[in-house]
A and B are shown apart, each in its own frame.
Chain A
Amino acid sequence: MNYPVDLKYSKSHEWVRYEDGVAVIGISDYAQDALGDVVFVNLPAVGDEVTAGESFGDVESVKAVSDLISPVSGVVLEVNEELEDSPENLNGDPYGAWIIKVEQVTDEEELLDAAAYEAHCAEEG
């Protein structure tokens, strides 16, 4: 399992990376592995407001659906439309396949660094 050190992680398994004040958000390697084959991603629209700790969309694997929880509050600047046709990118490249970019960030969930997140995943088993 891969936990890049340049990212912050939520306990609900999303990652965040800041680029010039914009929060780039995806799901972790642990999350994609637990989900199994991702077959559909329900994305928000550009301009939607997202709230830290609340759902901004969902990912469907063959087995089940899981909410995507926003690690930050703000406004959706961009969504990764490639995921509409190639949701499996979340499995193949979870840290390259970002899901949304959020601007005007006003709030942030309690986020973990890579080491703390890895420990959190180990606890979940």
Chain B
Amino acid sequence: MSELKRTPLYAVHVAAGATMVDFGGWEMPIQYPAGIVAEHLYDRKHCGIFDVSHMGRLVVEGPQRVEFLQKVLSSNVAALVPGRAQYCIIPTETGGAVDDAYLYMFEEDRYLLIVNASNTDKDLAHFARYLPDYDCTVTNITDTYSSIAVQGPEAEAILRVLSGGAEITGPRKNDLNELVMEGHTVRVSRTGYTGDPIGFELFIEADQVVWLWNRLVELGAAPTGLGARDTLRLEAGLPLYGHEMGQDRSGVEMPIFAVSLARFAVSFKEEKGDFVARDLLLAQKEQGTPKKVIPVALADRGVMRAGMDIYKDGVHVGWVTSGTMVPYYKFDEAGNILDATGKRSIGFAYVDSTVTMEDVLEIDVRGKRLKARPVAKHMDQTQPPYGRAVL
């Protein structure tokens, strides 16, 4: 086994008492002493910070950068303007996903593409097949440029202390900005993987990221590990590559349009032109996919886990792709957040597309058939500053 990679914040995590695990070849904090449940709740009510420096950061530049990205990404790159970011998928030639990614246009003449940590090498190898046809380059700057996600209701107020009161970004999701925070140059995007109505991702030179992390903690943000990152994204209904995207549990490629988020990530605009698997993806969009990824909630007591089989009227219709028990805050009738909390068992399922919202599903939880139901969403993100559990 090759040696695990570490982010510049490794020693800070260890000093904070984090439990470190192998995550896609990186030695990362799964949780701090507070634990996953407390970290999840703190993020939803206050502010969580996440070391996302392990994610692959790639710079794409050169005269034909737009043409190249239009070819290998699913989104309409030409629609992106400086100061904006967009979600995209990197399609395989056969209509599945090599990875999902976020494309940032901080500058006129180059793009920053952020990919999943464990896929970075695979993505680079995939791009290398197309690069010879384009006059541009892809450079991996993961080791020199670091990133912290700052998420939750208090995220903006905390960052405003560091910016000396200056506006962090424009008000829209995917707005970008570059700021000087207490003498350090920090790039900021209004993005995140928690579903919090307020959340940012910060980018800073690797040798300054420890300063930024420690300042955020001093200002009241709580270090949050990969465990809570997973429960937060699950509650927010955000797919995770390797679970809701990529290959299914049998090693069969999942079509991109099996995930509803694909509707926002794939463009068939004339301006975009042809791209990898365009026609296959258009067919997926128009004709549907045999199976689809849907959020599900367990009605019976128990916990669903990835890989568990799902039945409808006794017929096997699919399986769980992600699942666990997540905590949530309760709200009073006026919509005020309370101190009281609850727990619920939620997940994603990959099921036959014939399954409807009205169906009752049964999940085989180690030999017991537990009732579950498809839901539209697990969380309401439309009432800032809090994400609210949809029960």
Contact A36 B303 (CB under 8 A): no
| B324 CB contact (under 8 Å) in A58, A62, A84, A88 | A62
Q: Does B231 contact A (CB under 8 A)?
A: yes
Contact A62 B37 (CB under 8 A): yes
Contact B302 A40 (CB under 8 A): yes
Contact A62 B301 (CB under 8 A): no
Q: Does A78 contact B (CB under 8 A)?
A: no
Q: Does B30 contact A (CB under 8 A)?
A: yes
Q: Which residues of B contact A62 (CB under 8 A)?
A: 36-37, 227, 231, 324-326
Contact A39 B227 (CB under 8 A): no
Interface of B, secondary structure class, is: mixed
- Which residues in window 3-39 of A have CB below 8 A to B? 36-37, 39
Contact B302 A42 (CB under 8 A): yes
Q: Which of B37, B38, B301 is most buried by chain A, counting CB atoms within 10 A of its CB?
A: B37
- Which residues in window 55-108 of A have CB below 8 A to B? 58, 60, 62-65, 84, 88, 91
What is the CB-to-nearest-CB distance from B250 to chain A, in angstroms, rounded to a whole number? Answer: 22
Closest Cβ neighbor of A84 among chain B residues: B301
**CB-CB under 8 A for A39 and B303, given A60-B325, A62-B36, A62-B37:** yes
- Which residues in window 36-52 of B have CB below 8 A to A? 36-38
| A37 CB contact (under 8 Å) in B36, B301, B303, B366 | B36
B334-351 interface code vs A (CB 8 A; 1 in, 0 out): 000000000101000000
How long is the Cα–Cα vector from A119 to B275 in the complex, in angstroms? 61
Q: Which residues of B contact A63 (CB under 8 A)?
A: 30, 36, 227, 324
Contact B35 A39 (CB under 8 A): no
Closest Cβ neighbor of A60 among chain B residues: B303
Contact A36 B302 (CB under 8 A): no
How long is the Cα–Cα vector from A12 to B345 in the complex, in angstroms? 27
How long is the Cα–Cα vector from A4 to B231 in the complex, in angstroms? 34
Q: Which residues of A contact B324 (CB under 8 A)?
A: 39, 62-63
Contact A36 B31 (CB under 8 A): yes
Contact A40 B301 (CB under 8 A): yes
What is the CB-to-nearest-CB distance from A70 to chain B, in angstroms, rounded to a whole number? Answer: 17
Q: Which residues of B contact A40 (CB under 8 A)?
A: 301-303, 325, 345
What is the CB-to-nearest-CB distance from B347 to chain A, in angstroms, rounded to a whole number? Answer: 12
How long is the Cα–Cα vector from A88 to B343 in the complex, in angstroms? 11
Q: Does B190 contact A (CB under 8 A)?
A: no
How long is the Cα–Cα vector from A60 to B35 in the complex, in angstroms? 14
B19-42 interface code vs A (CB 8 A; 1 in, 0 out): 000000000001100011110000
How long is the Cα–Cα vector from A37 to B366 in the complex, in angstroms? 21
Contact A36 B301 (CB under 8 A): no
Q: Does B305 contact A (CB under 8 A)?
A: yes
Closest Cβ neighbor of B302 among chain A residues: A40
Q: Which residues of A contact B325 (CB under 8 A)?
A: 39-40, 60, 62
- Which residues in window 294-318 of B have CB below 8 A to A? 301-303, 305
Q: Which residues of A contact B (CB under 8 A)?
A: 36-37, 39-40, 42, 58, 60, 62-65, 84, 88, 91
The 5 A-B pairs at the shortest CB distance, nearest first, are namely A39-B325, A37-B37, A60-B303, A62-B36, A37-B35
5 contacts between A and B (CB under 8 A): A39-B327, A62-B36, A62-B227, A65-B305, A65-B366
